[in-house]
A and B are shown apart, each in its own frame.
Chain A
Amino acid sequence: MISIKNLHASIGDKEILRGINLEVKAGEVHAIMGPNGSGKSTLSSVLAGREDYDVTEGEVTFNGKDLLELSAEDRAREGLFLAFQYPVEIPGVSNINFLRTALNEIRAYHGQEEMPAKDFLALVKDKSKLVELDSKLASRSVNEGFSGGEKKRNEIFQMAMLQPKLAILDETDSGLDIDALRIVATGVNKLKSKENATIVITHYQRLLDYIVPDFVHILYKGRIVKSGGKELALELEAKGYDEIKKEFEIAD
């Protein structure tokens, strides 16, 4: 699905990713954990194509294509989806219009015709149930006036609508109460299949009780310092990040 080799990225003069290696196959769920400032959000931003970062070294192959050569929109059209840590409010653009435009541009990229309005609305109805999103929110402006929980559910709703091959969930658990967390996780689990893959980026183990990963990686100072199964997350939870910091303190 995605193969990341020796990825280095900087913002300005500051190198944040310092050689990431990661291989995710279809059907897998990977969790990337790490303390604040370890580079978790940078990794998701670089993969999604945010232009604020410079990739200085390394390569990323996504379904056989050089991901770093693609624009942000083409990455999305190829099936990469980033659930934002901080979903953006866009006053004046309705959720429905936004999603219809997105869906149809993705279809056009694959040489498919526009989805008929009737089918589109049926899909909206079906997928909004998945994350228990009030259908009224679909006609409102994108994320405008949504609560924190509604914003995160809206991200998963969009993911359900666009059916990506690879979903990257960037701190999707942040700011969620336990009920919202359960709804979001249930939505993600229902969307899981043998054909797609998920990368869950999180600070806490909590989300991983609901979305059970096949692999857990610990990111520290821009490198993956440890990888393991789901038990690694529990170990981390028990010991805290200080242990990791001590173990992997790297002289700058």
Chain B
Amino acid sequence: MSLVAENKSAVTQNLLEQLQKNSSKIAFMPDTEIVSAIRILEDKGIPNNKHEDYKYCNIEAVLRKEFKTVEQSFNELTNADIAPLKIEEAINLVVVNGNYNEALSEKMIVKGLTVKSLNELSSSEKGLLSSQAKSDTDALIALNTAFTGNGLFLQVDKNNIIPMPLHVIYVNSGNSSNVTNTRNFVNIQASAEVTLIESFYNIGTAKVFSNFVSEKFVGENAKLTCYTFQNEGALSYSVNTNQVKISKYSNYTNNTFTLSGELVRNNHNVVLADSNCEAHLNGLFISNGTQSVDNHTLIDHQMPHCESNELYKGIAKDKSVGTFNGKIFVRKDAQKTNAYQSSKNILMSDDATINTKPQLEIYADDVKCSHGTSTGKIDTEALFYLKARGIGDESARKLLLQAFAQELIDKIEIPSLQERVLHLFEKAL
């Protein structure tokens, strides 16, 4: 065996040993899934930059450098810790270090809504786990599956429209180097509708590698509108995987706002599994320092008459790195597909980096697909125009960056979430 291969397996083996030694022994996934996940993980190894999909996001290096020992020791959280993270218009649910925390969550009985932890699932519900996110597609899904906590199961029953948004607050609270594997399953049955906000925070005092996997199923004629709000701070390294399948006549939207986090990798994979459905993925990030924000999307058009739209924007400051990799598959049967993708970025310093890679793979012949990407500095003509009217350099730059981000911030339909995003965005400028 070569030295490289040995090193690669060393990081994965070390992680496995640390987690097996220090994690809770209770399993929340079916045993067969766990056994196969560990085998896949050992086989594939934690991805590094030689892995095509993780070219700009070397997870193995992060684990080797920052998570040699994983003690899994956490601080207890109280209502006072959670209160400032809540969103007033929503039902606030709390997941702490990967485990659904009923005591910290708001209790509300809403017709057609099921909220429970993974250990409360019926055997048929348990069968849904890993139906969307499969260990063999990504070693980090395998890692999550092998060590998943007592995550959240959300279901909206057929024909129910949930009148207020659900807000899941995922919070890590480690006081030593930790790895959390948070998992949920969101099941939106036929003709149901809900808005889901997922917020990510770290209020721990130590570095955390947060490996999140969400499986989402959107039934026929159903509508799921999601917001992902990421503000995990400088101690956090996170991989956030959304594996989504949407059905006939359904509508899925996700708007992701990344405002902090030393490393943020988002894998957003949507399968348009039947005809006449639509998916909208939007994202905005602002990065500074040595931060790295990496958005990977995979839109899989399998059937005809579907539509997908993607708009990702980023502002990279200091020495930060922003990456967008958007893959669109249009399969043989997916005629009359409309698929659009756009990625626009602004570099605020000579040391900042933007990587963009659109990938279209089209196997149908009657489709409309387009992609566009642009990366540049702030528009100097516009800047001069503003200054020539008496606006100072700093406010002029802020005005232009706000204008750049506005169309994404405008997509937020929940006022206090919009205010929160805007406030943090302005602070980060």
Interface membership of B403, Cβ < 8 A:
yes
How extensive is the interface on chain A, given as a class?
20 to 34
User: Is the CB–CB distance between B387 and A72 below 8 Å?
Assistant: yes
User: Is the CB–CB distance between B390 and A106 below 8 Å?
Assistant: yes
User: Is the CB–CB distance between B387 and A97 below 8 Å?
Assistant: no
User: Is the CB–CB distance between A105 and B390 below 8 Å?
Assistant: yes
List B contacts of A82 (CB < 8 A).
388
CB distance from A226 to the nearest CB of B (A): 29
Digit string of B374-402 for contact with A (CB within 8 Å is 1, else 0)? 00000101101111111111011001101
CB distance from B238 to the nearest CB of A (A): 30
How extensive is the interface on chain B, given as a class?
20 to 34
User: Is the CB–CB distance between B391 and A102 below 8 Å?
Assistant: yes
Q: Please, which residue of chain A has its CB at the minimum distance from the CB of B402?
A: A92
User: Is the CB–CB distance between A71 and B387 below 8 Å?
Assistant: yes
Q: Please, which residue of chain A has its CB at the minimum distance from the CB of B406?
A: A92
Q: Please, which residue of chain A has its CB at the minimum distance from the CB of B404?
A: A92
**Distance of A51 Cα from B403 Cα, bound (Å):** 24
**Distance of A221 Cα from B399 Cα, bound (Å):** 38
User: Is the CB–CB distance between B399 and A48 below 8 Å?
Assistant: no
List B contacts of A215 (CB < 8 A).
none
Q: Please, which residue of chain A has its CB at the minimum distance from the CB of B399?
A: A93
Interface membership of A101, Cβ < 8 A:
yes
Interface membership of B407, Cβ < 8 A:
yes
**Distance of A102 Cα from B403 Cα, bound (Å):** 16
**Distance of A235 Cα from B272 Cα, bound (Å):** 73
Digit string of A80-121 for contact with B (CB within 8 Å is 1, else 0)? 011010011011110001110111011001000000000000
User: Is the CB–CB distance between A73 and B404 below 8 Å?
Assistant: no
**Distance of A71 Cα from B403 Cα, bound (Å):** 24
List A contacts of B390 (CB < 8 A).
73, 76-77, 102-103, 105-106, 109, 162
List B contacts of A162 (CB < 8 A).
389-390
List B contacts of A88 (CB < 8 A).
379, 381-382, 384-385
CB distance from A50 to the nearest CB of B (A): 6
User: Is the CB–CB distance between B393 and A73 below 8 Å?
Assistant: yes
Contact of B399 among A49, A72, A97, A109 (CB under 8 A): A97
Q: Which 8 A-B pairs have the closest CB atoms?
A: A92-B403, A76-B390, A102-B389, A88-B385, A72-B387, A106-B390, A73-B387, A93-B403
The 22 listed contacts between A and B (C-beta, < 8 Å) are A71-B387, A71-B393, A76-B387, A84-B388, A88-B381, A88-B382, A88-B384, A88-B385, A90-B379, A90-B382, A90-B400, A92-B404, A92-B407, A93-B400, A93-B402, A98-B391, A101-B395, A105-B391, A105-B392, A106-B390, A158-B389, A162-B389
| Other A-B pairs, 15, CB within 8 Å; known A75-B388, A98-B399, A102-B386 | A49-B387, A50-B384, A71-B393, A72-B387, A72-B388, A77-B390, A82-B388, A87-B385, A92-B404, A93-B402, A98-B386, A101-B395, A142-B385, A162-B389, A162-B390
